[in-house]
Amino acid sequence: MSMRLLLVRTDKVGDLVLATPCIQAAKKRWDSCEVHFMASDYAHPILKHNPHLDGVLVYRPRSVRELLRELKALRFDAAVVLYPTWSLSRILYLARIPLRITSGFRWYQWLYNRYIYLRRSRCLKKEWEYNQDLLKPLGWEGPYIEPSLYLSPQEVDWANGMAQKEGWPREFVALYPGGGGEIRWPPHLFKDLATLIHGIGLGVVVFWGPGEEELAKYVAGDKGRVAPPTDLRGLMALLSLSKAMVSNNTGPMHIGAALGVPLVQLFDPRWSCNPERWGHEGLKRRILIPPVPHCERCSSRCTFYPCMEKITPGEVMGALEEVLFGG
């Protein structure tokens, strides 16, 4: 099947990571398919060095006219929008892409000519599997592919040089105590975990995002290291050096999984964050969630509040030792 396909996901880093399997799925299904990806200005570096990708378009809402000209010039046969918005859907409609595919349940779905009612909120599949289901109107039938990210040899060399310059231990566990909208495991418990990790002879490097440097310093304490300021590709390269990673349910957690880093994932019990949809399972991966019922939202009136403290440092350390030493 000869086709020029545009995949679209223009929101957060973690969401883009979970969209990457669609690239390889399309290439595996159709050898002659030319695959391009439209992603946000902030997240698009995630896609760099992907060997299955033919091109990247950066979505900047303030340059709509320029983007529309670019879309028309590229003459796409089909566009699959993994998470639509009104403004984005309107642009793709005006670009006159012949086949426009997205998920249903939106008032503006008339801007598309094919859509699927995925019902993601039921959490019956992984997010990346829901994404690949949107390829079905094109004839894709599976099997599902898990997320993968790619680093260049030069990026790995840079990371090794930076780790040596920063004086990092040769073997270390990466901790990510920050995050976005998720309810996080408390910083003092991350700090206690760092002490336990030092106790088995491994180093600790704490990674952080915008506005989180002081948090990282607190968790690292006197013995740990704090990752240097870097861009998204630098974060990826440095994370790839870790022996394992412990993280809240946030973008860097998905990056670690896609890089193949052994992973302990800390989830809050809200249904919207259900690990059945967002968690990574399998060899050298563990998911921890408080032993409380799933809930719709977090409230101080909840019987189990604050539930994240019900995950103990000892429990996390046990899961970490399993991914490190138990297979």
Position 182 confidence tier, pLDDT thresholds 50, 70, 90: confident
Per-residue pLDDT, averaged over 306-313, amounts to 91
Q: Kindly state the percentage of the chain with pLDDT values over 70.
A: 98
pLDDT at residue number 301: 72
Token duo for residue 153: 């040899």
pLDDT at residue number 63: 73
Per-residue pLDDT, averaged over 7-26, amounts to 96
Token duo for residue 196: 């336990």
Q: Decide: 225 and 237 in contact? Cβ < 8 Å.
A: no
Which DSSP letter does residue 307 get?
G
Whether this prediction's pTM lies above 0.85 is answered by yes
Residue 175: phi and psi, rounded to 5, are -115, 140
pLDDT at residue number 194: 98
84 preceded by a cis bond (ω within 30 of 0) = no
What domains appear along the chain, each with residue ranges and CATH number? 3-138 (3.40.50.2000), 153-326 (3.40.50.2000)
pLDDT digits (tens, 9 = 90+) for 67-91: 899 999 999 999 999 999 999 999 9
List b or e across 251-264, with b for residues whose CB sees 16 or more CB atoms inside 10 angstroms.
Answer: bbbbbbbbbebbbb
List b or e across 289-323, with b for residues whose CB sees 16 or more CB atoms inside 10 angstroms.
Answer: bbeeeebeebeeeeeeeebbeebebeebbebbbbb
Q: What is the mean pLDDT of the chain?
A: 93
pLDDT at residue number 125: 96
Position 300 confidence tier, pLDDT thresholds 50, 70, 90: low
Give the closest residue to 211 by CA, choosing from 167, 179, 182: 179
pLDDT at residue number 32: 85
